[in-house]
Structure 1
């Protein structure tokens, strides 16, 4: 099983006193993901450095993709991505055959997909919303996810073995429409990292680093808006989409140039399907951004 040669800065983080939050913050700043606690990122780094697969589990918009991108940045490791859906098939994962002309002759060529590319290049593979895929599709890569790190390409009958540096990060939204529970054989191939909504100082830092909004008063208000939306989700008053950190960052970006309430309408409110949810979010925005 592959183990990574960690950059010096990550080695220092893993061996340093975990209370040194300033060092931690500076290390992850450029990755643009600030977890609720340093342990969340440290544990993910530790698992990947030992050659284990990581499953990021959390609500919609909690920053799982940004988390994966930050891990890719910290390891200085490019990342191939798979966006799961009910239409995900062997070709989407592994690649496909195509007709090519070479020296005037027609020949069949194989174009690698994200899984085989990541294995060949020894990079990260990111599988987003892995539980959106049909249960019969994912067993195609079971061998990739265990100690073998190999698969038999059904299109070429070639045995593909992952090169050093290959690793798998997946994300899951439990209970979301269109998802199915992961079977135990698949789930047992991952170390699970719970990803919560970013709040408080971490969110403030993320807004500062990731958006064009620089007004400190407005940033504080957006942090409070996020807190109110997350609480409303926990009470079942609005859908998880309304509390998406991704959507909040879009609203912050827009607020650098247009009024905040209009920015919230464009980035958050108008995405919601139910009128009562749109009215609820608009009411919170009206209270905060007078």
Structure 2
């Protein structure tokens, strides 16, 4: 099987370079950009290049303190003795181990949920666990990256006190030659002509997302990579069906993508 390079690629070299520099200064990084622009891939590449494991939180309106910090449960020993123990969540795990904490779509969370992280994100690098009373100080190496997609359905304005704890890097959607390079590097597809067709098809999808005709996830880099992989073992039309069309719930969106398929392929 072809070896796939999973590193982050962007025509603007300052994006990754500045992220590395901010890491070295122990700054919290807020990656701001549209869905599928590679924010998570950038965070993963930082984790790989620094050799620091990453713990991820996927924010939603249902996110609560237990999702962030952990929860109590009953543990039964071999002799049948039961005791209440606390299972660390991603925030506390990352702090204890000196790992990276990645908070995806941070503005999807309810504003009242996140202030518990204020002490984690400022110079103190510590929190008091409300479930146990333990004061946890972050081990050396602990770093925080968050991602935000402003204006996306379901997002809320980010609290200014929280935003002020981050340094912002804009991550724009990649296209053209850079997108061609990403598809060749991160998928199994190496057919240049077909990759160019896929890029043109994706431009049409992006136009529809900008006009509100299509959900943004349909035009994401993740979907393109999956589609390109499948295109090496099945016709491109079926690859698009499997990776994009069948994921859409709205029949009008499905038909819009199908029209773009017929136009481009």
1:62-77 paired onto structure 2 within 5 Å: 62-77=37-52
The CA distance in 1 between the partners of 2:212 and 2:77, in whole Å, is 60
Instruction: Give the deviation of 1:112 after TM superposition.
Output: 0.8
Aligned match of 1:207: 183
- Kept in 2, the 8 Å contact 1:31–1:74? The answer is no
Equivalent residue for 2:193, pick from 217, 220, 227: 217
Aligned match of 1:232: 208
Aligned match of 1:7: none
Aligned match of 1:108: 84
Aligned match of 2:120: 144
The CA distance in 2 between the partners of 1:34 and 1:123, in whole Å, is 23
The CA distance in 1 between the partners of 2:41 and 2:125, in whole Å, is 25
SS of match in other structure, 1:197: coil
Cα offsets for 1:69-96 (capped at 9, x unmatched): 1111111110011111122111111111
Aligned match of 1:17: none
Note the aligned Cα RMSD (angstroms): 1.7
1:182 aligns with 2:172: no
The CA distance in 2 between the partners of 1:170 and 1:181, in whole Å, is 15
The CA distance in 2 between the partners of 1:202 and 1:162, in whole Å, is 37
The CA distance in 2 between the partners of 1:202 and 1:269, in whole Å, is 25
Instruction: Give the deviation of 1:272 after TM superposition.
Output: 3.0
Aligned residue pairs total 261
Aligned match of 1:247: 223
- Kept in 1, the 8 Å contact 2:43–2:102? The answer is yes
1:54 aligns with 2:12: no
SS of match in other structure, 1:144: helix
- For normalisation by structure 2, the TM-score amounts to 0.92
Cα offsets for 1:199-255 (capped at 9, x unmatched): 122211211122121222111211222223223333444332221111111111111
SS of match in other structure, 2:151: coil
The CA distance in 1 between the partners of 2:194 and 2:240, in whole Å, is 12
1:90 aligns with 2:65: yes
Aligned match of 1:277: 253
The CA distance in 2 between the partners of 1:275 and 1:117, in whole Å, is 42
- Kept in 1, the 8 Å contact 2:76–2:82? The answer is yes
- For normalisation by structure 1, the TM-score amounts to 0.84
SS of match in other structure, 1:171: strand
The CA distance in 1 between the partners of 2:14 and 2:92, in whole Å, is 32
Instruction: Give the deviation of 1:102 after TM superposition.
Output: 4.0
Instruction: Give the deviation of 1:103 after TM superposition.
Output: 6.5
The CA distance in 1 between the partners of 2:261 and 2:78, in whole Å, is 64
Equivalent residue for 1:38, pick from 10, 13, 17: 13
Instruction: Give the deviation of 1:284 after TM superposition.
Output: 2.2
Aligned match of 1:23: none
